Structure 1
Amino acid sequence: MPGLTPCASAAAVTEPISGSAGASAAGRSASEGRARSAARSSKPGMRTHATIRTYVLHEHVFPCQVVPFRRDDLRVSVLRVRNFRYLFAARTISFFGTNLAPIAVAFAVLGLGGSATQVGLAFAAWTLAQISTLLIGGVVADRLPRRLVMIGSDAANLCVRLLMGALLVSGHAVIWELIVLQAVGGAAVAFYSPASVGIVPETVPTPLLQQANSFMSIARYAAFPVGAAAGGALVATIGPGYALLLDGATYGTSALLLAMISLPPRATAAATNFVRELREGWQAFTEHTWVWLLTFWISLYFLITYAPFFVLGPYVAKHSLGGASAWAIVLTGEGIGSLAGGLAGLRFMPRRPMLVIGAFFTVTALQCVLLALEAPVAAIGASALLAGFAFSYGTVVWDTTLQSLVPREKLSRVSGYNWMGAMIFLPAGYAIAGPVANAIGVSTSLWIGAAWIVLSTIAVLSVPAVRNVRSVVAGRENAPPLDEAVVQEA
Structure 2
Amino acid sequence: MTTARQADADADAGTGAGYRPVFRVREFRPVFAAHLLSVLGVVIAEISLTVLVFRATGSPLMSALTFALGFLPYALGGTLLAPIADRLPARRVLVGCDLVCAACAAAMALPGTPVALLLVLRCAMAFVAPLFQGARAASLVDVLGSGEAYVLGRSLLRMVAQSAQLIGFGLGGLLLTVLAPRGAITLTAAGFLASALLLRFGTRARPARTGQGAARTSPLAGLRAVLGHRRLRALTLLCWLPPLFTVVPEALLTPYAAGIGASTAVLGLLMCALPVGTIAGELWAGSALTARTRSRIVAPLAAVGMLPLLVYAVRPGVLVLLAALVLAGLAHAYTLGLDRWYVDAVPEELRGRAMTLLSTGLMTLQGVGMALAGVAAEFFAVHVVVTGAAVLGTGVVLLLLAEVRATDGGADGGGRWTAGPSGRREGSRGGRPKRETGPTVK
Q: Shared fold by TM > 0.5?
A: yes
Unaligned regions of 5+ residues in structure 2, if any? 410-416, 425-442
- Structure 2 residue 89 is the aligned partner of structure 1 residue 159: no
The residue matched to 1:206 in structure 2 has which SS?
Answer: coil
Cα 1:450–1:199, aligned 2, differ >3 Å: closer, same or farther? same
Q: Counterpart of 2:277?
A: 337
Q: Counterpart of 1:281?
A: 222
**Post-superposition CA distance 1:22-43 (Å, at most 9, x none):** xxxxxxxxxxxxxxxxxxxxxx
1:413 deviates by 1.0
Cα 1:396–1:137, aligned 2, differ >3 Å: closer, same or farther? farther
1:75 deviates by 5.0
**Post-superposition CA distance 1:368-426 (Å, at most 9, x none):** 323343212122112211222233x3443333332333123211111223233333333
1:241 deviates by 1.2
Distance 1:471 1:256 in 2: 40
Q: Counterpart of 2:192?
A: 251
**Post-superposition CA distance 1:333-385 (Å, at most 9, x none):** 22321221231242324548776344323444245323343212122112211
Distance 1:350 1:154 in 2: 33
Q: Counterpart of 1:200?
A: 140
1:197 deviates by 0.9
**Post-superposition CA distance 1:32-86 (Å, at most 9, x none):** xxxxxxxxxxxxxxxxxxxxxxx997xxxx9x99xxx672567532211111111
Instruction: Within 5 Å, give how 1:134-145 maps onto structure 2.
Output: 134-145=78-89
Distance 2:209 2:282 in 1: 33
| Bigger CA radius of gyration | 1
Cα 1:231–1:351, aligned 2, differ >3 Å: closer, same or farther? same
Q: What is the Cα-based RMSD across aligned positions, in Å?
A: 3.0
1:144 deviates by 0.9
1:202 deviates by 0.8
Conservation of the 8 A alpha-carbon contact between 1:162 and 1:248: yes
1:153 deviates by 0.6
Q: Counterpart of 1:271?
A: 212
Distance 1:100 1:367 in 2: 32
- Structure 2 residue 117 is the aligned partner of structure 1 residue 177: yes
- Structure 2 residue 236 is the aligned partner of structure 1 residue 236: no
The residue matched to 2:312 in structure 1 has which SS?
Answer: helix
Cα 1:332–1:282, aligned 2, differ >3 Å: closer, same or farther? closer
Conservation of the 8 A alpha-carbon contact between 1:354 and 1:466: no
Residue 99 (structure 1) aligned to one of 43, 46, 49: 43
Residue 296 (structure 1) aligned to one of 231, 237, 242: 237
Distance 2:296 2:393 in 1: 14
The residue matched to 2:276 in structure 1 has which SS?
Answer: helix
Residue 76 (structure 2) aligned to one of 132, 136, 143: 132
Cα 1:86–1:175, aligned 2, differ >3 Å: closer, same or farther? same
1:263 deviates by 2.3
Q: Counterpart of 1:30?
A: none
The residue matched to 2:315 in structure 1 has which SS?
Answer: coil
The residue matched to 1:103 in structure 2 has which SS?
Answer: helix
The residue matched to 1:346 in structure 2 has which SS?
Answer: helix
Cα 1:181–1:113, aligned 2, differ >3 Å: closer, same or farther? same
Cα 1:354–1:70, aligned 2, differ >3 Å: closer, same or farther? closer
Q: Return 187-196 or 417-426, whichever deviates more.
A: 417-426
Q: Return 288-297 or 92-101, whichever deviates more.
A: 288-297
Distance 1:301 1:336 in 2: 18
- Structure 2 residue 48 is the aligned partner of structure 1 residue 84: no
Unaligned regions of 5+ residues in structure 1, if any? 1-54, 477-490
Cα 1:77–1:419, aligned 2, differ >3 Å: closer, same or farther? closer
AA partner of residue 474 (structure 1):
S
**Post-superposition CA distance 1:418-451 (Å, at most 9, x none):** 2333333333332332232221332221121010
1:269 deviates by 3.7
Distance 1:187 1:231 in 2: 23
Distance 2:50 2:361 in 1: 27
Cα 1:210–1:308, aligned 2, differ >3 Å: closer, same or farther? closer
Residue 395 (structure 2) aligned to one of 443, 451, 455: 455
Conservation of the 8 A alpha-carbon contact between 2:278 and 2:326: yes
Question: Identity percentage over the alignment?
Answer: 23
The residue matched to 2:362 in structure 1 has which SS?
Answer: helix
Conservation of the 8 A alpha-carbon contact between 1:363 and 1:386: no
AA partner of residue 49 (structure 2):
V
Distance 1:471 1:181 in 2: 47
- Structure 2 residue 162 is the aligned partner of structure 1 residue 221: yes
1:472 deviates by 7.2
TM-score (norm. length: structure 2):
0.82
Conservation of the 8 A alpha-carbon contact between 1:350 and 1:474: yes
AA partner of residue 400 (structure 1):
R
- Structure 2 residue 310 is the aligned partner of structure 1 residue 369: yes
Q: Counterpart of 1:479?
A: none
Conservation of the 8 A alpha-carbon contact between 2:53 and 2:62: yes
Distance 2:371 2:146 in 1: 40
Conservation of the 8 A alpha-carbon contact between 1:337 and 1:384: yes
Cα 1:282–1:399, aligned 2, differ >3 Å: closer, same or farther? same
Q: Counterpart of 1:480?
A: none
Cα 1:326–1:153, aligned 2, differ >3 Å: closer, same or farther? same
The residue matched to 1:71 in structure 2 has which SS?
Answer: coil
The residue matched to 2:260 in structure 1 has which SS?
Answer: helix
Q: Counterpart of 2:15?
A: 71
1:302 deviates by 4.1
Cα 1:317–1:293, aligned 2, differ >3 Å: closer, same or farther? same
Residue 148 (structure 1) aligned to one of 92, 108, 112: 92
Q: Counterpart of 1:186?
A: 126
1:160 deviates by 0.8
Conservation of the 8 A alpha-carbon contact between 1:139 and 1:413: yes
The residue matched to 1:151 in structure 2 has which SS?
Answer: helix
Cα 1:128–1:353, aligned 2, differ >3 Å: closer, same or farther? farther
The residue matched to 2:252 in structure 1 has which SS?
Answer: helix
The residue matched to 2:255 in structure 1 has which SS?
Answer: helix
1:266 deviates by 2.5
Q: Counterpart of 2:266?
A: 326
The residue matched to 1:446 in structure 2 has which SS?
Answer: helix
